[in-house]
Amino acid sequence: MRFLGLDVGDIRIGVALSDETATLASGLPTLIRVGSRKDVKALARIVRERDVGEVVVGMPWRLDGTAGPQAEKVMVFVESLRRGLPVPISTWDERLTSVAADEKLAEAGVRRKDRKEMIDQAAAVLILQGYLDSRAATASTPGGEA
C-alpha cells in the first residue's frame, strides 16, 4: 500500500509519496493552493492515479503541543479531506520539519533562493518518512501492529 504525505500551508501543499512497500518517501510536485474544494479534488486525483491507501497530513503543533492558528487551519482542511477522499486520513506531528527540511537542503548545497521553492516538498517527505518509520518500528516490536 502506498501512503501520501502532505505539508499543508496557506499558499502551497508539499506532497510526498511512499513506495509500494511503505518504506521510502519521495517528493511529488508541490501543489499551489487554489481553494479547499479544488485542492481536495487535486489530491483525490493523485490518490486515485497513484493507488494511495492512506493520506498522512503534517500537523503544525506549537512546541508546547498546543494548536495554534495554523494547526487549526490544517484541522479544518483535514476534515475536508476526510469528506472528499475515499481513503483514511491520519495526522502526524510535524513540529520543526520545515526547519529540518531547510537544513537538509542547505547541506545538499541548494542555494537559499532555490530552497524556498523546494522546502514544502522536502517537509512533506520528512513528515511521511517519519510516519513510515514509526509504523515499521511498531510492527517490529513484539505485539506491535502496522
Q: Is 41 helix (H, G, I), strand (E, B) or coil?
A: helix
CA proximity to 35, closest of 76, 64, 72: 76
Q: What is the CATH number of domain 2-140?
A: 3.30.420.140
Please name the residue that has the C-alpha cell 508541490: 30
The cell 509504523 sits on which residue? 135
Higher-confidence position of 118 and 26: 26
Residue whose entry in the numeric block shows the C-alpha cell 490518490: 47
- Residues above pLDDT 90, as percent of the chain: 67
Give the predicted TM-score (pTM) of the model.
Answer: 0.87
Encode burial over 111-144: b for 16+ CB neighbours within 10 A, e otherwise.
eeeebeebbbbbbbbbbbbbbbeebeeeeeeeee
Average pLDDT, stretch 124-144?
Answer: 86
pLDDT tens digits for range 85-114: 999 999 999 876 776 777 887 888 888 777
- Report the C-alpha gap between 86 and 78 in whole angstroms: 13
